[in-house]
Every structure is written in structure tokens, then in C-alpha cells.
Amino acid sequence: MLAKGTCRGVAGYLYGIAAECAVKAMMEAANVRIDEAFFAHFPDLRTILRDALRGRNVKPLSSFINDDSFMNNWHVRMRYAGAKQIKDEWVISWADQAGRVVNAMGT
């Protein structure tokens, strides 16, 4: 839960960055070497990985990447969006999803 007075847009942006870092850590742990993916952001990161992930060692990562709702509506350009452009329900969803993917690191 966000503290009172927290800017939801900034929090939402940071949840997305946390989720991206967790996904990229899971890529490294699964020995997935896709240079393009390491420099990509959502939603492009999901697209790149969906097209490339294969094998049992990527199963935990695939469960996030193949979920159409995972980090949906998040984009790195939102960092410069006005606060009213970021919906509260998106931020709540991103917080949950970022927490789940961060907790899945190392599995």
C-alpha cells in the first residue's frame, strides 16, 4: 500500500522498473542470452521474450511473460506523463505484479 501523499504515477513507474529488473535477472538465471531483450522495456520486452523463450529452465519466467495482463498499460514513456493519465487501478495491479515477479527471482 502506498503511503498517503505518494505520487501514484511515480510509484507506478518504479513498479515497472522493478518488474523489468526482476525479469532480466530471471533471464540471466535461466541463461537466456537475448541482447535485444536486455535493452528493451515493457511492452516490447514481453514481445521479444514471448518469441524467444524455450525450454524447462524458463518456466517461471514464461508464466509472467505469457500472462497478457502482466505489466499491461505500463510503458517507460509514462515517466513523463501527467498524474491524471495514470489510473489508480493500473498502479495497484503493477504493485502486485512487480511484487510477484521480484519474489519469483531465484525460482
Contact yes or no for 23/49 (Cβ under 8 A): yes
Reported as a pLDDT band with limits 50, 70 and 90, residue 2 is low
Say what the pTM is: 0.89
Could you give the residue ranges of the DSSP H alpha helices within the chain? 8-29, 35-38, 44-52, 59-65, 88-104
Per residue in 8-62, pLDDT tens?
888 999 999 999 999 999 999 999 999 999 999 999 999 999 989 988 889 999 9
Q: Give me the count of residues in the chain.
A: 107
In order, the DSSP letters of 23-45 are HHHHHHHTT---HHHHT--TTHH
